[in-house]
Amino acid sequence: MGINSNQPHKWKSDIAKSVDMYNEWFMTFAPIAFRSTRIKTTADVENALIITENLTIIDHNVLTKNPEILPTLRMSTCPPLAVDRLIGLSKTSSTLVKKMENEHKIPERMTKPSLKKELIKIGTIIQKMADPDIFVWLSQNTQPTEIEFHRAATIVADRLCGAVANPIIRNAQEKRQLEAIKKWLEKHGYKHVANNTANKFTDMQPGTFSFRLNVAVKIGKQNYNIPIDAVIMPKKSGKGQYPLLIEAKSAGDFTNVNKRRKEEASKMIQLKTTYGKNIKFILFLCGYFDSGYLGYEAAEGIDWIWEHSIDDLEKLGL
């Protein structure tokens, strides 16, 4: 029997309550999450300025030793450069730039001469396009005052945070959702197990739960791991019963959820193909999920729990 997927007459009311809950959280906690990230990012930018001697030295030696400063350097230009734009302007290896950007590393297989050549091109573009209104000392050929230094770092940090604002908010919301699940489960006598000790989700003991656990699935002849936000083994589970799998989802607008709604359906197909029809995969929703999204998930056989009605977890045998 379904929890919410088979009750479309309740969807409109639940959507309104979910939107209200998300907005209340956003107004109260999102600025805190953003501000704490901004403080750390400002410190990172200041460190990058120190490393590059206030943006006057961006050579291959600096970039080789400090690949993690590349995002800061991209946001220091006028206009700020997207990753692909930097690759195009500098005519450098996309592998190199994306490795520096995403992993803060230099590709191990690049030869030193090739690496030096590529990094020089990146540094040249950054210095040529450095924003003169932010780094006022560059045109004056002077050292920045303390006020100028901190002002520049703050502006670049704001640019960086603006570029990743949605992930910052989404990560903070996911953390809060998992904490809500944890609090509810512990209140009902469940014990949290760290994901590094829960090697296989099928080995979990009754009355335990874990977060962000990898679950193995088979696609064709290949084996893959898919991350699951919450894995819960009911206290009254029988021999051979699978844990309940929960995906925490939040959204600050209706547009993005309909772009991403196929992701959950894909996971459901992979799980059922691997483990059969008895595997339970549930969504934990908070925010802007409209009837189009809900109808799509229901048609794919996916049910959900609204965070504002978290006690519905009891209906799942927990």
The residue type found at 308 is H
Give the tokens for residue 308: 């504002």
Edge-to-edge, what's the strand order for the sheet holding 280-287?
A: 191-192, 208-219, 222-233, 244-251, 280-287, 303-306
Domains and CATH numbers, the chain: 8-29+167-316 (3.40.1350.10), 32-165 (no CATH)
Tokens of 116: 């030096």
Question: How big is the CA angle at 101 (ends 99 and 104), to the nearest 5 degrees?
Answer: 70
Greater confidence, 76 or 35? 76
* Res 197 pLDDT > 60: no
Percent of the chain with pLDDT over 90: 50
Q: What is the pLDDT of residue 161?
A: 83
Identify the CA nearest to 47 among candidates 28, 66, 61, 64.
66
Over residues 20-43, mean pLDDT: 85
| DSSP tag of 198 | -
User: How large is the greatest C-alpha to C-alpha distance in the chain, in angstroms?
Assistant: 75
Mean pLDDT of the chain: 88
Beta-bridged to residue 216, according to DSSP, are 225
What DSSP state is assigned to residue 218? E
pLDDT tens per residue across span 244-292: 999 999 888 887 776 777 888 888 888 888 888 888 999 999 998 988 8
Using DSSP's 3-state secondary structure scheme, residue 306 falls into strand
Q: Residue 34: which pLDDT band, with cuts at 50, 70 and 90?
A: confident
pLDDT attached to residue 284 = 95
Tell me the mean pLDDT in the region 189-193.
92
283's CB contacts (< 8 A; 6+ apart) are: 246, 247, 249, 264, 297, 302, 303, 304, 305
| pLDDT reading at 64 higher than 60 | yes
pLDDT in the model for residue 1: 56
Q: How far apart are CA 313 and CA 64, in angstroms?
A: 51
